[in-house]
Structure 1
Amino acid sequence: MAMSPDDYRESLSALLPQGLAWPREPESVLQRVLGSFGAGLAQVDAHGDALLAESWPRSSYALLADWERVTGLPDECSVQGGQTLEARRNAVAAKLAARGGQSPAYFIGIAAQYGHVDATITEFRARRYGRARNGQRFGGWGWQYVWQLNLPAQTVEQRNSNDPFGEHYQVWGDSPLECVINKLKPAHTRVFFTYGGV
């Protein structure tokens, strides 16, 4: 907790030697000079306290641009210029806390962060002798590197008629989620997105 200017003035006054040349009355010229020093020291102390809040991105304000630079944000998957302060803070914190992974549970967790809590993953298999069962989906060898993220609901964003010329009236899908999944998926795989069930 930062000290007040009066606290600093009293501390500076306590360091002075004893005697008539060093008055202790608050209205004296010396004490007013020490009070002006105390105001500057209190301001530095307050900035030090504020710097503690900047050490964590969820409470950062002045250093948020530095946090974004360190984490590589905004990137091609984030909405540049349209994010709120809270959304920017959450993006930095999420990027710092992300551990990564290649399991279906990891990608289902990412979909849940984007509001698709009932998402599932379908993995395709290549046709192999002795492993196939009746009714099971088949594919060529290339299909062993393909998976599908099934999102439970169709996401439709309605547009306003006052939007600029060239804007679509409706946008289907969840392009930020698709961008993030395509960025984090294993490089040798391909992912398809389905909305509203399989």
Structure 2
Amino acid sequence: MECVLVSGTQAPRTLDETRNGFFAGLLPQGWAWPRPDGSNLGVLVGGFSYVLHDLETFLASLADEISPANSTLLLSDYERVLGADPCGTDPTTLTLAARQAFDNARWIGSAGVTWGFFERLATARGVSISIDEPEPAICGVAVTGVDVCSQLRDRFIWVVMLPNHETGLECPIQRNNPPDLTVVFKYEDAN
């Protein structure tokens, strides 16, 4: 199948281009194989070129289905492959744009390792968060490089400040955080 690039997306060949491609690519050269549209062979090839043209048009329409971000025809198939959301969100209750964004986020990525990842996750839900990484307590003199009051796991704690309990961000943050990180949530409305 040969497609041409039109404004950033691939467009299928026109019916005439499909028929001419059939003539040029599949039929041998010579006077015994007439190519005019009115010939018997031209009519036969024309019939096949309709089917090929319909196939190319259908395949070009699937170009947006390559990821859930733009998918409409295959969106429910992506959701079936992804399975139920561990945080309980039902994507079918969302608008199409929100559903595409939600499914695409589950499809392409998780396990953020930077504050920016979690801040973008919150921003996508219309929430502003802050993250603090407190220094572990060190009491007295360290003996052979070991902290006296703290343990190694104390170095991997993030305190995430959320506006309130209704943001729904606790589960997505817990689901996407690195495995060696402990996330603690604090709420601004609790102060």
- Please list the CA deviations of residues 93-120 of structure 1 after superposition, one character each: whole Å capped at 9, or x if unmatched: 334144521x544433322232123x22
* Aligned partners of 2:162 and 2:185 also within 8 Å: no
* TM alignment of 1:17-166, pairs within 5 A: 18=31, 24-26=36-38, 30-68=41-79, 72=82, 74-77=84-87, 78-95=89-106, 96-98=108-110, 100-101=112-113, 103-117=114-128, 119-122=129-132, 128-129=138-139, 144=154, 147-152=158-163, 154=164
- Shift of residue 24, structure 1, vs aligned partner: 2.8
- Please list the CA deviations of residues 24-46 of structure 1 after superposition, one character each: whole Å capped at 9, or x if unmatched: 354x6654443221110101111
Structure 1 unmatched ranges of 5 or more: 132-139, 155-171
Question: For residues 13 and 150 of structure 1, do their structure 2 counterparts lie closer, same or farther at Cα, with a shift above 3 Å needed?
Answer: closer
* Aligned partners of 2:37 and 2:46 also within 8 Å: no
Identity %: 27
- Shift of residue 65, structure 1, vs aligned partner: 3.9
User: How far apart are the structure 2 equivalents of 1:4 and 1:183?
Assistant: 48
Question: For residues 122 and 2 of structure 1, do their structure 2 counterparts lie closer, same or farther at Cα, with a shift above 3 Å needed?
Answer: closer
1:2 equivalent in structure 2: 12
User: How far apart are the structure 1 equivalents of 2:158 and 2:21?
Assistant: 68
- In the superposition, the TM-score normalised over structure 2's length comes to 0.61
1:183 equivalent in structure 2: 175
* Aligned partners of 2:110 and 2:176 also within 8 Å: no
* Aligned partners of 1:146 and 1:189 also within 8 Å: yes
User: How far apart are the structure 2 equivalents of 1:60 and 1:80?
Assistant: 14
Aligned-partner residue type, residue 59 of structure 2? G
Secondary structure at 1:116 match in 2? coil
* Aligned partners of 1:2 and 1:45 also within 8 Å: yes
* Aligned partners of 1:120 and 1:150 also within 8 Å: yes
- In the superposition, the TM-score normalised over structure 1's length comes to 0.59
* TM alignment of 1:166-181, pairs within 5 A: 173-175=166-168, 177-181=169-173
User: How far apart are the structure 2 equivalents of 1:107 and 1:23?
Assistant: 62
* Aligned partners of 1:182 and 1:191 also within 8 Å: no
1:157 equivalent in structure 2: none
